[in-house]
Amino acid sequence: MFHNYNHNIQSIIISLGLTIFNYLGYDKLSEKELLERYSENTSGNILEKKLSEEKLKCEQTINENKLFFSEQKKDLTKHYTTIIDELETKIKEQKIEETIKINEKMEYVNSMNKHTIDNYQKQISLLEDRIKTLEVIENKLCDKNEFKNPTEQGDYAEKILDSIVYENLSYDDKARIVDTSDYGGSGDRIINFSNGFRLMIEVKNKDTIKKSDLSEFEEHYNNDFKNNKIDCALFLSYRTPQIPNKCNAIILKYDSQSKDVCYFGIHNNLSPIEKKEKIKQIINEIYEKYKEKIENHKITKTSEENKSDIYNNYLQLLNEDKLFLETKIKENDKNKQQLETKMKENTQKLNKVYQDIQINSISVKKELLNEKLYKSMLRDNIKSWIETNSIDVKQHNWKKIVRKDMNLCDTDSKLIDSIKYNDIKI
C-alpha cells in the first residue's frame, strides 16, 4: 500500500508515523524494549490505550480543578458575604446616625423658627398697640381735616353734636337731639330740652363760610319758625369764627335783626376735645338765656296758659322723640339686614375653608373651628366616602378603617371620636 502512493504522500505517511512514534514515547525506548512493546500489541491498540490514558488524566485534572475552584468559590462567597453584611450594618448605622443628626437639626431649626415667629408676632402686637394708642392720641389732639366727600365732612361735625347730647347735658339729662338734615327746609339738628326749649343748629365744617351758607341758614330757620318747630336758631362754624357780613363770632353773637338767631365760630387750631367743650358751653349759654327769658315771661301769663304751653311743648317733645325713635328703628333694621348678609357670606366662606381643610388633610387648631359645623361636614364627607367606595364598615371597626384609608389630618382623626356610628351608617 505504501508503495502505491507517490513520493509526496509517502513523505506524509512517514512524517505522521514519526509523530505517533514520538507521541507513544517509543523514541525513548531501546531497540530491545521497542521490539518487546510492539510485539505485545498492535500499533492501533497502543495508540488507543495511550489516548485513553491521556483522556483519563485530563478528566482527572478537570475534576481536580472543578473541586478546587468550587472550594475557592465557597470561600470567596463566604468572605464577601461577611464583608457585605458588615457594610450593610455600617450603612444602617450611618443612616440611623444621619437621621438622628437631621432630626436634631430640624428640631433646632424649628425651635429657632418658632422663636423668630414669636418675636415677630410680639413686635407686630406691640406695633399694633402703638398704632391704636397713636390713633387715640391723634383723635383727641388732632382734628380730622380730610374727608371722602362733602357728606362725610358735614356728618363729622353733626355727630359731635349728637355725642354731646347722648352723653347727657349736666343741666338737662333728659334733653334729646333730632337729626333733621334730611328734611327739606330745616337745619341739621334740633335739640329738644325737657323744659320745652327747642334749639335748631346749622353746623358748617368748612374753612371759609360763604354767603350762600348764610342764605341757606336764613331760609331754614325762617321755615322752622314759621312751622313752630324751634324757639332759637344757631349757626355753628366748626373751623372758623369769621362769619361774612355778620360778625367775628369768637363769642356767641345774636343777629341784630332777630333776637332768636345767633352765631358762633371756633378757631381751627383747637383740639377736638377743646372744640367739643366750646360747643357745650355755647349750648349751655343759649339754654340759660332762654330759661331766663321763659321765667320772666311766666310772670305775665296765667297759670292756665303756662299749663297749656307746658303740654304743648311736652306733646311737641314726645312727637319729636317719636320721629327720632322711628328713624333709629329704620336705621337698625337696615343695619340688621346688612349684618345678616355679611354673616351669610362669612358662613359660606367658612364652609369653603372647611372643605379645603378636609379635602387636603390640613391640620389646624381645634379652637379656631366651629366644631358643630365642622363636625357636620366631616361626618357627611366620611359617609360619602364610605358610600362611594362601597366600604363595608361595622360599629366596632369603622373608625379604624376611616383613619387608616381616608388619609385624615390630625384634627379630623381626633374629631371622629365624637361622631357616632349611626350618623355615618348607610
Domain definitions of the chain by residue range: 41-116, 150-300, 361-424
pLDDT value at residue 144: 56
For residue 84, what are the CA distances in angstroms to 69, 75, 81, 89, 157? 21, 14, 5, 8, 90
The third-level CATH classification (topology) of the domain covering 150-300 is type ii restriction endonuclease, domain 2 (3.40.1560)
Statement: the pTM of the whole predicted model exceeds 0.75: no
17's torsion region: left (phi>0), alpha (psi -120 to 50) or beta?
A: alpha
Is residue 371 helix, strand or coil? Answer: helix
Residue that is written with C-alpha cell 500489541 in the block = 41
What is the secondary structure of 116-142 as a DSSP string?
A: HHHHHHHHHHHHHHHHHHHHHHHHHHS
pLDDT value at residue 14: 87
Per residue in 302-328, pLDDT (tens digit) is 555 666 777 777 778 778 877 888 888
Is residue 181 helix, strand or coil? Answer: coil
* Segments in the chain below pLDDT 70: 38-51, 54, 133-151, 153-154, 184-185, 298-307, 426
